[in-house]
């Protein structure tokens, strides 16, 4: 007789998944608060409430922990992009994406990774989920950038890849922290100021 899968997840698998979700959530928070270099595997294990050895059963290295957090962040971003209406103009969708990114960052939920780290870079490049998610996200945003340039809403002389990286950079924009620490602007003010400088520039109109 051929066994037929019921599609049900065993209790043990549910517990393992819950633990893994808790680990990734903790890593995401620590990466947002402290960054990759300052985060340690020991504090991740302590925050989750498990032994370091148990943590390594899920993720064999600190780099793998960061990669898992980035995969989750990409999944979250992809889900948000999918929620945007097809009826919106491309420039409006790009603005909404940047605004959402700033909201996540201001809420302390945007993982922060170093721009240069060979071991982490190697781990990310070899992570299929991360690379597939990044390419899918970039392709969709790239399509909107091209449409916005054709419509005259973005500078047509700028290479689309430069525009894409400029938008990605808002996820780690230090201006957000500077304005937040200054205490003179609300989160809504900060998002408006960054969106204005990002899309409208600094020159007088």
Report d(CA 135, CA 197) in Å as an integer.
26
Packing angle of the helix pair 41-48, 62-83 (nearest 10 deg): 60
**DSSP notation for the chain:** -------PPPHHHHHHHHHHHHHHHHHHHHHHHT-TTT--HHHHHHHHTS-HHHHHHH-SSHHHHHHHHHHHHHHHHHHHHHHS-TTS-HHHHHHHHHHHHHHHHHTT-S----S--HHHHHHHHT-HHHHHHHHHHHHHHHHHHHHHHHTTSS-TTS-HHHHHHHHHGGGG-HHHHHHHHHTSS-HHHHHHHHHHHHHH-SS--
Q: Which two tokens stand for residue 80?
A: 């948000």
21-35, 47-61, 75-89, 108-122: segment of lowest average pLDDT: 108-122
> Rounded mean pLDDT of 35-51?
93
Q: Does residue 5 belong to any structural domain of this protein? A: no
Place 8 in a pLDDT band, splitting at 50, 70 and 90.
Answer: confident
**Beta carbons within 10 angstroms of residue 38's beta carbon:** 11
Residue 6 has pLDDT above 70, yes or no: no
- 146 CB neighbour count, 10 Å cutoff: 15
Q: Is residue 55 part of a domain?
A: yes
Number of domains in the chain: 1
pLDDT at 1: 44
Question: Does 111 score more than 60 pLDDT?
Answer: yes
Mind listing the pLDDT tens digit for each residue in 68-106?
999 999 999 999 999 999 999 999 999 999 999 999 999
In a domain, 2, yes or no: no
Residue 62 lies in a domain: yes
Does 203 or 98 have the greater pLDDT score?
98
CA distance 84 to 92: 10
Which of 168, 23, 162 is closest to 110 using CA atoms? 168
CATH of the domain at 192: 1.10.357.10
Is residue 141 a part of any domain in this protein?
yes
| Domain presence at residue 3 | no
Whether 42 is covered by a domain: the verdict is yes
pTM of the model: 0.87
Domain contains 4: no
Which tens digit of pLDDT belongs to each residue from 13-39?
787 788 899 999 999 999 999 999 999
What average pLDDT does the structure give for the chain?
A: 92
The pLDDT score that the predictor gives to residue 205 is 65
- The yes-or-no verdict on residue 114 having pLDDT over 50 is yes
- The range of the structural domain enclosing residue 60 comes to 11-200
Please report where in the chains the tokens 């620590």 appear, as a residue. 30
């Amino acid at each position: 007789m051929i066994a037929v899968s019921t599609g049900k997840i065993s209790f043990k698998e549910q517990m393992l998944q819950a633990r893994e979700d808790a680990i990734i959530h903790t890593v995401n928070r620590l990466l947002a608060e402290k960054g990759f270099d300052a985060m340690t595997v020991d504090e991740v294990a302590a925050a989750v409430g498990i032994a370091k050895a148990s943590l390594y059963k899920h993720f064999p290295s600190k780099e793998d922990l960061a990669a898992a957090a980035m995969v989750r962040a990409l999944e979250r971003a992809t889900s948000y992009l999918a929620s945007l209406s097809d009826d919106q103009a491309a420039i409006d969708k790009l603005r909404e994406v940047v605004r959402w990114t700033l909201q996540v960052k201001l809420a302390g939920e945007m993982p922060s990774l170093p721009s240069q780290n060979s071991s982490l870079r190697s781990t990310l490049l070899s992570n299929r989920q991360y690379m597939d998610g990044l390419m899918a996200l970039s392709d969709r945003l790239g399509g909107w950038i091209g449409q916005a340039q054709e419509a005259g809403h973005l500078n047509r002389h700028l290479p689309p890849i430069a525009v894409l990286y400029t938008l990605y950079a808002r996820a780690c924009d230090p201006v957000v922290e500077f304005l937040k620490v200054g205490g003179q602007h609300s989160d809504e003010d900060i998002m408006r100021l960054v969106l204005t400088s990002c899309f409208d520039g600094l020159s007088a109109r």
